[in-house]
Amino acid sequence: MQFLFAMRVKENAAPVTADQLEMEVAYVREIYSSDTLRQIWSRTDVAGACLLIEAENESTARAAIEELPLMKADKLEIQTFMPLRSYRGFAGVSG
């Protein structure tokens, strides 16, 4: 199952340090290589990102997000969360 998280940097959070950003990138690469993170986009409207997570269930998906170093440092928040399913319009379509 896939889950979409729209994340943003908290408004009153202290600035993200270079070390924190480096740890965040390392973790994101780790979960990407393990097929937990399917896609990630930087947001252009606010400081943050959108992550497409592959997991067995919502609690497993949320656990992966909670391990983000910036979440642990209380600098990120989940702005939007959406569980996703396959598009029904393609069912039975042969090509």
For residue 83 the two structure tokens come to 């569980």
- Among 27, 10, 17, 39, which Cα is nearest to 66's? 27
The pLDDT value given to residue 86: 87
- Per-residue pLDDT tens for 51-89? 999 999 999 999 999 999 999 999 999 999 999 998 888
Assigned domain for 92 exists: no
Assigned domain for 17 exists: yes
* Domain membership of residue 56 as a residue range: 2-85
CATH number at residue 40: 3.30.70.1060
The pLDDT value given to residue 35: 93
What is the total count of domains within the chain? Answer: 1
Assigned domain for 25 exists: yes
User: 10 Å Cβ neighbour count for 1?
Assistant: 14
| β pairing state of 37-42 and 48-54 | antiparallel
Assigned domain for 94 exists: no
